[in-house]
């Protein structure tokens, strides 16, 4: 056990999906997995393990933002033998060329978080995805005919932006595809422990065109995204 996870050794599979929302974690398990066992309920951060196409896979909610996600990622890697981690979630598009429902495969994650700045001092650590997972996800997406974007994203500590998107201008000029709140922590901590990590995120709204997914379209797109993530772990 850890301060935030009550699971016993062996309760988690070596492969795990990391949504932020506990309700989404339960939905993933109910929709895609068989023989599901709940392994964590501490603080409402649901963890579950089941079978997908004959393989053992876990799902663990991480909450929103780098501080929350970092707690769960650290504890999973320190105590539970996780080898491969895929964050599944949504993101905001920063380029009008990419549409809502497009799936972003995050190659790298810039961040404004103080976590990495405090840790690396004079260095700016490059938070990057595992290439094997990234390549497999791109191949699986092509086979499935999904609209995907491979590129850099930004992990922002702020959800609400009082400056109206102004801070993103320089990132957009340097090809940044989307914004979300967890990936830089995932990639940095995975690198520390020698684990493999990737973020697969659906563009749910575009900060440039202000297009948004309807609730029905959001649910359909999540099915595509989660299926892609699970098949990438296959």
The question of whether 205 is a catalytic residue gets the answer yes
CA distance 129 to 152: 10
In the chain, how many H helices and how many E strands? 7, 10
- Answer positive or negative: Cα dihedral of 117, 16, 75, 4: positive
Instruction: Kindly name the residue from 156, 205, 216, 231 that is annotated as catalytic.
Output: 205
Count the residues in the chain. Answer: 234
How far is 192 from 32, CA to CA, in rounded Å?
Answer: 30
| 145-182 CB burial, b ≥16 within 10 A, e <16 | ebebbbbbbbbbeeeeeeeeeeebeebbeeebbbbbbb
- For the chain, where are the E strands, in sequence order? 15-18, 34-40, 47-52, 55-60, 84-93, 103-111, 127-128, 148-155, 178-180, 196-206
Structure tokens at 83: 């080898």
Burial class (CB in 10 A: 0-12, 13-18, 19+), 99: middle
Q: Which residues contact 190 (CB under 8 A, 6 or more apart)?
A: 73, 77, 85, 130, 196, 197
Which residue numbers are catalytic?
205
């Amino acid at each position: 056990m850890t301060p935030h996870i009550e699971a016993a050794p062996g309760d988690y599979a070596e492969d795990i999906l990391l949504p932020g929302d506990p309700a989404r974690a339960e939905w993933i398990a109910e929709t895609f997995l068989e023989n599901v066992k709940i392994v964590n309920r501490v603080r409402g951060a649901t963890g579950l393990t089941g079978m997908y196409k004959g393989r053992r896979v876990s799902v663990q909610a991480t909450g929103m933002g780098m501080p929350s996600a970092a707690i769960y990622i650290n504890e999973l890697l320190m105590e539970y033998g996780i080898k491969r981690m895929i964050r599944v979630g949504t993101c905001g598009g920063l380029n009008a060329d990419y549409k809502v429902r497009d799936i972003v495969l995050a190659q790298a994650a810039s961040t404004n978080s103080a976590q990495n700045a405090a840790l690396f001092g004079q260095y700016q650590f490059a938070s990057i995805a595992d290439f094997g997972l990234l390549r497999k996800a791109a191949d699986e997406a092509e086979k499935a005919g999904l609209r995907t974007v491979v590129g850099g994203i930004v992990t922002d500590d702020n959800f609400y932006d009082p400056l109206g998107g102004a801070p993103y201008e320089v990132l957009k000029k340097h090809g940044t595809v989307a914004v979300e709140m967890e990936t830089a922590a995932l990639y940095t901590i995975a690198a520390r422990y020698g684990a493999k990590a990737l973020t697969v995120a659906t563009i749910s709204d575009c900060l440039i065109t202000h297009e948004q997914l309807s609730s029905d379209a959001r649910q359909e797109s999540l099915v595509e995204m989660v299926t892609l993530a699970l098949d990438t772990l296959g």
